Structure formats: structure tokens, C-alpha cells
Amino acid sequence: MLIPREFFARPSVEVAPDLLGCVLENETADGLVAVELTEVEAYAGRSDPASHAYRGKTRRNAVMFGPPGHAYVYFTYGMHFCVNMVCLGEKGSASAVLLRAGAIIAGEDLARARRTRAPIPEGRARIASRDLARGPARLCQALGIDRSLDGADVCIPASALRMRTGAGNPARSAEIVTGPRVGVSSAAEIPWRFWYEGDPTVSVYRPHVPRRPKLVTP
């Protein structure tokens, strides 16, 4: 069953935990890949310094300011995509839930093919199932999500990218744990991050190291 739009018409902090166990699927000419979500993170709008909507509407984040139930896909680090579900924003604001990790429940071969970079070196081990969508950029790569899906409506059957109910929701609701987002100091009183405790597909946090400024060699 497809998730109704009203589901997303709430603040992102309320939507985020309810998304765990739901299934995001993308259907392309190559086939269908489906991921059951195991880790998400909520972002608010103007009030949230870590949100892309913090400084107002721009070309990149325009979808965040639109109606709920659409995908906000952005490109980062010159090579990665990440996908969010747009939720209800206050007037002139915006909110969304970043999909950080999940378990592949359909189309695993296709997902692995997308995640395996060619040419395949002889000695390299094949990617473990749990690692196929373990992390926001990996999840997008496994599903084949790119910028062409920015703004896609996930609430209609005609869309290639859809969100539907899964076996894990609400069956696994007891496993949900929350915590503050890492790396963001403000608004630490609200738990922004939600995941299934002990689930092997939940991403591991890696502290971000700022890159050294490019130096000029004579």
C-alpha cells in the first residue's frame, strides 16, 4: 500500500520515526529495487542551522518548500546524491527527512551491480548485502536515484519512485531508538535521528575531517 500524502503533512520530527520500516522503491528500465528503511534523520527549516532550508529558498532546495510527499534529491561532494522526503513546513519554511540507510528487500542483484564500480578488480570481495544501502549516498546509488528524481512525487502509483508500507512498520516499533544528530550543536534537546537498535544496515558515524586548503606548489 502506498503511503498517503497526509502522512508527510506533519513536522519532520514526527514523520521520521514513522518512516522506519517503510519501503522506498524505484522502478527503472533495469528493474525494481526496494529498500526497507532502518535509519533516518529529521531536518527543520529556518530554525535549524544544519538544514539546507536554513538560509531560505534557493534553486537547490526549492523542492523542500513545496508540497509534502515529494523527494528532495541533492548532489554533494562532487559525486554523491542524498534523498529526503519533504514534510510539512511552516509558512515560508520547509522540513524534510533524510533517508540514511536501509535493507534491500528486492532487486539485490541490480543494487549490487549499481554499487560495484567497473572495472571489477580480481581480488575485490563482492559487497555484503548489509552494506548495499548502508549510508545516505549508498542508498541512493543502490536505488539508482539521481537528480532527475528531485521533486518526484512518492505518493502516486504512476511515479517510478514510491514509498509504501513495509512489514517492519509497525512490527519493529519497539526497536526504535533516537539520539541527537551528530555534528550539530544547536537544538540538541530534540532527538533528530531515528534508527533500529542493533540493525546491521544502520550506518556507522564517521567524524568529518575538514580538508586542508589547497596549497600552491611553485
- Residue showing cell 563482492: 126
Cα–Cα distance, 144 to 117 (Å, whole number): 14
Q: What is the grid cell recorded at 176?
A: 526504535
Query: Is residue 46 within the footprint of DNA (CB under 7 A)?
Result: no
Nearer to DNA, 158 or 215 (CB): 215
**Element holding 182 (H helix, E strand):** none
Alpha helices by DSSP H, the chain: 5-8, 12-19, 108-115, 136-143, 168-171
Q: Does 89 interact with DNA (rule: CB under 7 A)?
A: no
User: Mask 159-178, x = binds DNA (CB under 7 A)?
Assistant: --------------------
The least CB distance from residue 129 to DNA, in Å, is 14
**DSSP-derived pairing of the beta strands 193-196 and 176-179:** antiparallel
Q: Which is nearer to DNA, 170 or 179 (CB)?
A: 179
Size of the site for DNA (CB under 7 A): 40
**Binding residue (CB under 7 A) for DNA from 3, 20, 87, 96:** 96
Q: How far is CA 146 from CA 104, 137, 157, 173, 197, in A?
A: 18, 10, 19, 30, 29
108-115 vs 136-143: helix crossing angle, rounded to 10: 120
Point out which span in 1-9, 21-29, 106-114, 208-216 binds DNA (CB under 7 A).
208-216
The only residue of 7, 8, 43, 195 in contact with DNA, by rule CB under 7 A: 43
- Shortest gap between Cβ of 64 and DNA (angstroms)? 7
- Decide if residue 13 touches DNA (CB under 7 A): no
Query: Rounded to the nearest 5°, which phi and psi values hold at 126?
Result: -70, 150
Q: Is 55 or 156 the residue whose CB approaches DNA more closely? A: 55
Q: Using CB under 7 A, which of the segments 16-24, 47-55, 105-113, 152-160 binds DNA? A: 47-55
Instruction: Please state, in angstroms and rounded to a whole number, the distance separating the CA atoms of residues 96 and 10.
Output: 10
In angstroms, what is the C-alpha Rg of the chain? 17
Is residue 71 at the binding interface for DNA, with CB under 7 A as the rule?
no
- Cβ at position 132, least distance to DNA in Å: 9
Task: Give the binding site for DNA (CB under 7 A).
Answer: 41, 43, 50-53, 55, 58-61, 64, 75-80, 82, 84, 96, 98, 115, 117, 124, 131, 135-139, 203, 206, 208-214
